[in-house]
Amino acid sequence: MRKRDMYINRNKSSYKGFYNHNGKGKRKGMFVAVTAMVLIVVLALSTFYFTKGRFLIQEEARKTRQENSQNHNNANFNGNNTLSTEEKNDQSANSQNNVSKIASKEGQTENNLQSKTTNSRNTQDGNSQGGNSQDGNTQDKNTQDGNTQNGVLPYDNNNNQNNIPSSTGADGNTTDMQEVFQNGTARTRLPRKVKGIYVTGPRAGKESYMKDLIELVDTTELNAMVIDIKNDNGEITYKMDLPQVKDMGADVNYISNIEQLIADLKAKDIYLIARIVAFKDPILAKNRPDLSLKKKDGSIFYDKSGLSWVNPYKKEVWEYLVSVAKEAALLGFDEIQFDYIRFSTDSGMKEVNFGKEAKGKSKMETITEFTKYACENLKPLGVYVSADVYGTIIDSKVDAKIVGQDYKEMAKYLDYICPMIYPSHYQDGSYGIKHPDLNPYDLILSALDKSQTELKESDNTNQAIVRSWLQDFTATWLDNHKSYGPKEIRDQIKAVYDAGYDEWILWNGNNNYTKEGLEKE
């Protein structure tokens, strides 16, 4: 959105009549002329100093905002991605089996879903976004020697969330809504009981597609969109003015005018969530091999899809992710949502050496620390922070340890925690359900009942609101699956409400949503 130009409309100024002598002599004419010139000079000087004063005030306000952003201490945050199979029993052997199944099927949960169905977690739009393999060398633009990048706080083990000024919860957009958020979030935006959909970068950048999606929101109960800003391939979906992004060639111009897009969606009162994929980043890993996951022999780790990941233990990775997120926040997004905020579940991970940074620190501790760090940097900007997490981690400690996600600990820092509880991603027999994909209501209700139980056991007073990802695609890769249509969508939404929760987001990789499953506005 182009800023409105500041100028003085001189067409409104008028000095007619000053030179109307009416035949009363040259002396009077000279007097009038001199008077007019004096008035013009006075008017010009007044205008100059008034305009200068306004610019000085604006510049001072801008500097103050920057200083507040850079100097603010700790808050909290987190995010994660993809869903997996989930056992009702949390016994070590069974849970390990679950995650092993995820690892062996990462072609199906993180990759196969892309090739076998257009509706999976990782399918990008139907337009192949291919993982841009950038050949150019890049300069190291990450924060070094304690200097900050783009207003990002360097990581500090001594940071304490108690340094954050407390703030009261904000009223929601409905009269019965009183949501309480983590201390430190600047209250410049109202929370929303989100009923949302996911939108890829290519779709968001095409006017014809967005017209249809906006109409869907206008005519149904939907009120929010989760839009890719940093996708699964490490691509930034618009021309972001961030040096490291430019140096790596990571910015792909899927969305040619991001400011106008945001303005158009805001005009429709659509709540905007920026999706930022965290540790699955082939572009950063290629350009900065020192930040990538490496095997014990020193070679780069690639998952079964042939993609490299970055190392969650590396603080420079944290700084890069938060820098990208801050750009999205400053654009006007209401919320930052981190996806793939986890470790890879690929079977080859047993060969990975995480480096000296991992000594004495578990995966779960690292992901929780990143969550906290991100919140400290983002919440002062006035955005809410959320994270996508595996559904299995809700009640499986083994699964949680493998991916590094601690449900209760992450919920301490986030404004929203978003478990991906797609029925198709649960193992047969989970929660006593023979084939979860065939029973979406029972699966969703069982998983969210577990969520209620787990979070009630936490002593945290500022706990994240649970907002579930629901399945709006057909899992054709499963032997025991069903076609998901209006009834299946409605059954899942009903289960969310019956479990005592209010919010949900639909996932369809191609952004083809089942309108008949949504209530009319």
Q: What is the pLDDT of residues 421-437, one digit of tens each?
A: 999 999 999 999 999 99
CB 473 within 8 A of CB 509: yes
Taking Cα atoms as reference points, which of 446, 429, 509, 442 lies closest to residue 472?
509
Q: What single-letter DSSP state applies at residue 271?
A: E
Given a cut of 90, is residue 314 above it in pLDDT? yes
Which distant-in-sequence residues (6+ apart) come within 8 Å of 61 by Cβ? none
Report the C-alpha gap between 485 and 489 in whole angstroms.
6
CB 376 within 8 A of CB 159: yes
pLDDT (0 to 100) of residue 521:
81
337 pairs with which residues across the strands? 275, 386
Taking Cα atoms as reference points, which of 344, 334, 396 lies closest to residue 367?
344
Select the more confidently predicted residue: 185 or 358: 358
Which distant-in-sequence residues (6+ apart) come within 8 Å of 282 by Cβ? 131, 133, 233, 234, 307, 308, 309
Q: Tokens in use for 429?
A: 């027999």
Q: If residue 204 lies in a helix (H) or strand (E), which one and from where to where?
A: helix 201-204
pTM above 0.85, yes or no: no
Report the C-alpha gap between 402 and 397 in whole angstroms.
9
pLDDT (0 to 100) of residue 450:
97
pLDDT (0 to 100) of residue 39:
72
pLDDT digit string (tens) for 109-152? 333 333 333 333 543 333 333 333 333 333 333 333 333 334 44
pLDDT digit string (tens) for 21-57? 344 444 555 666 677 677 776 666 655 554 444 444 4
Which distant-in-sequence residues (6+ apart) come within 8 Å of 449 by Cβ? 499
- For the chain, what is the radius of gyration of the CA atoms? 27
- Other residues' Cβ atoms within 10 Å of the Cβ of residue 366: 20
3-state helix, strand, coil in the chain (%, to 5): 40, 10, 45
Query: Which segment of 40-44, 244-248, 335-339 scores lowest on mean pLDDT?
Result: 40-44
Report the C-alpha gap between 322 and 153 in whole angstroms.
9
Amino acid at residue number 192 = R
